[in-house]
A and B are shown apart, each in its own frame.
Chain A
Amino acid sequence: MSYDWIIDVLFWIAVVFLAAGYVSWRATRLDRLHVRVETARAALDAALVRRAAAALELAASRLLDPATSLVLATAAHEARTADADNREFAESDLSRALRAVVDQPEFASTLAERADGEGKAVLEELSSAAAKVAYARRFYNDAVSQARIARRKLLVRVLPLHGRAPLPGFFEIDDDPPGI
């Protein structure tokens, strides 16, 4: 009598377990990447909202001349209300408007002196908000590119490990911060 078939069965059970373990590990990794994309997107949206708010605050602060206020307020409002298709353009326009305003000669030093340092605080908030947009966007695109690379892998295409998660897209804007 031979018990070879038992060995065979045990072997195949082990193979199935290992394969299942590997697939589940890959699925966990992919899921983690998708969660990271979502978290990064939330941080990016928050940073964009905060930057628009800082621009609006500066526009409404009565520290600026009315023309400058109008330029800033319009750009910030456009960025806040743009639909998904026009979002990237509107946010880029806000970046350009901020640079056009802040990079004028003597702008920062003049504003800093106004209203007992209130100008300085508003400027500091704007500088921080603009820098964070640039950071948040880099982190988001970094997460997106890694998720997309993972989605291209053969195993993920054969077995739909990503479930119903949509393929994330990059967020491309001009986010050079003004030189404060």
Chain B
Amino acid sequence: MRVGLVCPYTWNVPGGVQRHIADLAETLIGLGHRVSVIAPADEDAEPPPYVVSAGRAVPVPYNGSVARLAFGFLSAARVRRWINEGRFDVLHVHEPAAPSLGLLACWAADGPIVGTFHASYEKSRVVSVTAPILQSALEKITGRIAVSEAARTTLVEHLGGDAVLIPNGVATERFAMGEPLPGWPGRGGGPRAGGSGGEGEGGALGFLGRMDEPRKGLQVLLRAFEVLGRRRPGLRLLLAGPGDADDVVARVSPELRDRVVVLGMVSEEDKIRAYHSVDVFVAPNTGGESFGIVLAEAMAAGAPIVASDIEAFDRVLLGGRAGVLFPVGDHEALAAAADDLLADAARRKQLSAEARAAVRAYDWSSVARDVVRVYETVSLDSAGVVESGVGA
């Protein structure tokens, strides 16, 4: 099958949607399909051979955070050319409601179009205002996929209609093994009771995500560390993700600062190593998360997890069986839960095993099989994707 995937966000900036598309594309290629991805990319970036660049994306505020999106006549023309030359059996547009390439692709194509909706958010006035503009492009999507129950609810409330649920995939094998980062004992060591505060003796908490994005909840974790860091001398905090490191360190009390390590943006390998470096992985997100790919990756790496009890996490963690849940935004509860886990090696080991087992349902091989079934359903007896008449 010839599949055209449309990515709305800049390819070389790490993000859940980009990772999703890369993994899907690679799994599909592995299954023998011919896949082309169009995505915004910076000029100096070197994307993999299956990616076609649609030019640079521009940072604009959108949906409560700053997103880098591609729009305008130049992007639209490139999308049209790509659709024309690709002669796809199916066009698979990701996050088609974002004002970027996905929307442009819906506008420019006719034929079997599959749309995957990633985001979930509370009903906002802005979206109600934009719905009529979106409607005429989104009406062309013949098969809609939501990656989570929350994303599906968002879609149904804002745009009507319905969607099938196919959860995000995780390349679980890639995360299963990893050396801890230098200077970190990893879970082989673990915290020792009454540690003197030397390296690797007090245990380590981990966080991964945008540090300047309130919905990722780093502020909750930092507040919890103020409590927990004093209670456990030697406990360290490992933070990874895009954002200003100095700014984060400045938010920590001076006496705790030397125990906070900020890696900033990390490579894929270092990310995997980071998951293996910590005793407890914390996902303090305050909402807006539809699935939590970071959470699933940490689970695949076998990290014991403490996560906020937002709906998506509750589902992935099987209601608390594969990880400890705490009330959203409650830093006291987070500190207490992490404290208990750090003190209980047997419980950590059990949670690690449960997490590895639970995450298998989200492996890419099973997700890609379902996605291909959707492709086959919508493209039955169709002549493939063609360029649309202008405007209509």
Residues of A within 8 A of B (CB): 25, 28-29, 32-33, 36, 39-40, 42-43, 46-47, 128, 131-132, 134-136, 138-139, 141-143, 145-146, 149
Contact = CB atoms under 8 A, between A and B. Distances in A.
A42 B161 contact: no
Contact of B376 (A28, A40, A132, A149): A132
Contacts of B144: 138-139, 142
27 contacts: A29-B139, A29-B392, A32-B392, A33-B139, A36-B142, A40-B142, A42-B380, A42-B381, A43-B378, A43-B381, A46-B380, A132-B376, A132-B377, A134-B164, A136-B377, A138-B144, A138-B162, A138-B163, A138-B164, A139-B164, A139-B377, A142-B144, A145-B160, A145-B161, A145-B162, A146-B139, A146-B160
B19 to A, nearest CB: 24
A131 B373 CA distance: 8
Nearest to A150: B139
Nearest to B379: A43
B195 interface: no
Interface string B256-294: 000000000000000000000000000000000000000
A134 B391 CA distance: 33
Interface of B: 136, 139-140, 142-144, 160-164, 370, 373-374, 376-378, 380-382, 391-392
A160 B34 CA distance: 44
Given A135-B164, A149-B160, 10 more contacts: A36-B139, A40-B142, A43-B377, A131-B370, A132-B376, A136-B377, A139-B142, A139-B378, A142-B144, A142-B162
A143 B142 contact: yes
A38 to B, nearest CB: 11
B306 to A, nearest CB: 31
A141 to B, nearest CB: 6
B373 A142 contact: no
A165 to B, nearest CB: 15
B74 to A, nearest CB: 25
A135 B378 CA distance: 9
A76 B156 CA distance: 33
B99 to A, nearest CB: 20
Contacts of B380: 42-43, 46
A153 to B, nearest CB: 11
A32 B136 CA distance: 10
A38 B142 CA distance: 11
Contacts of A132: 373, 376-377
B23 to A, nearest CB: 21
B139 A135 contact: no
Given A43-B377, A142-B144, A32 B139 contact: yes
A151 to B, nearest CB: 13
Contacts of B392: 25, 28-29, 32
